[in-house]
């Protein structure tokens, strides 16, 4: 296993009066794609939001390259080269595709060679470059959301349920895009419910249940062990295939 880029140590998170995360420990190895699996309500989204500083960890630490994220604000975390793609995609629908990309590019105007690279995976964005992003289809919005993360080299990408509600053909495009990003050196942490999608992409896997980590290991091991799959992910697997 490679060195961890991101590390969670005993992270607890409360949302208002509710205790959501109970001592989360896991590592995201550098350069790999880590899948965070689990049922609805297991605390996956809360984990991502805690990493981004959108919920404050009430105990424990989130460490990224030696920096303690759990003591930083969301903008500071965003500036460390961590990109976040929320479940609702977080597209600015009043703005055009181009304007969305302009805001995502922190170091001046988006680089044209890099844009061309993105367009090879997401041609629709090129076509609708000057259109309001609110008019895009669901899949195109997901593409734009990922493209915002690709516009500049990132250290870490956090994605929440990218395949949700998308047609299989578009999911295939996503897989290509993630592979390209990984090749370019980005470490990726993806929250998923769709096990087939997860299987096709993941290097390592973390399974959560009831606000705790239930399993850590390689994706290959989990994919090979059907009994473990059933134990960890239950029947929800089938319904999401």
Name the residues that contact other proteins, by CB under 8 A.
52, 54, 73-79, 83-84, 86, 88, 90, 92-95, 99, 102-104, 106, 120-124, 127-128, 131-132, 134-136, 139-140, 143, 148, 169-170, 172-173, 176
Choose among 21, 42, 34: nearest CA to 208.
42
Q: Which residue has the tokens 């047609």?
A: 167
Helix or strand run (H / E) with residue 126: helix 123-127
CA torsion sign, 141 to 95 to 111 to 158?
negative
Cβ at position 238, least distance to other proteins in Å = 26
Cβ at position 214, least distance to other proteins in Å = 27
Which residue, 128 or 195, is less far from other proteins as judged by CB? 128
Q: Could you tell me if 166 and 138 are in contact, meaning their C-beta atoms sit under 8 angstroms apart?
A: yes
Cβ at position 166, least distance to other proteins in Å = 11
| Reduced DSSP (H G I as helix, E B as strand, rest coil) percent helix, strand, coil of the chain, to 5 | 40, 30, 30
Which residue, 167 or 220, is less far from other proteins as judged by CB? 167
Cβ at position 29, least distance to other proteins in Å = 23
Which residue, 31 or 86, is less far from other proteins as judged by CB? 86
Which residue, 62 or 232, is less far from other proteins as judged by CB? 62
CA torsion sign, 222 to 167 to 180 to 36?
negative
Which residue, 122 or 232, is less far from other proteins as judged by CB? 122
Cβ at position 84, least distance to other proteins in Å = 4
Measured between alpha carbons, how far is 159 from 84 in angstroms, rounded to an integer?
6
């Amino acid at each position: 296993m490679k060195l961890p880029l991101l590390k969670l140590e005993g992270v607890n998170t409360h949302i208002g009066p509710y205790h959501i995360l109970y001592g989360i420990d896991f590592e995201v190895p550098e350069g790999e794609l880590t899948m965070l699996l689990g049922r609805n309500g297991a605390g996956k989204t809360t984990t991502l939001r805690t990493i981004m500083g959108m919920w404050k960890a009430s105990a424990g630490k989130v460490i990224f390259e030696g920096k303690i994220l759990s003591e930083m604000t969301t903008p500071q975390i965003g500036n460390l080269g961590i990109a976040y793609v929320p479940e609702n995609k977080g597209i600015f629908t009043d703005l055009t595709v181009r304007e969305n990309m302009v805001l995502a590019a922190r170091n001046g105007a988006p680089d044209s060679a890099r844009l061309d690279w993105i367009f090879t995976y997401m041609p629709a964005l090129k076509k609708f470059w000057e259109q309001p992003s609110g008019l895009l289809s669901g899949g195109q919005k997901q593409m734009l959301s990922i493209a915002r993360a690709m516009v500049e080299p990132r250290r870490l990408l956090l994605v929440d349920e990218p395949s949700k509600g998308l047609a299989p053909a578009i999911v295939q495009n996503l897989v290509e895009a993630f592979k390209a990003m990984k090749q370019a050196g980005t470490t990726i942490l993806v929250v998923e419910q769709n096990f087939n999608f997860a299987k096709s992409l993941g290097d390592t896997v973390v399974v959560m249940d009831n606000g705790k980590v239930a399993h850590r290991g390689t994706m290959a091991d989990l994919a090979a062990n059907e009994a473990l799959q059933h134990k960890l992910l239950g029947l929800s697997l089938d319904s999401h295939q």
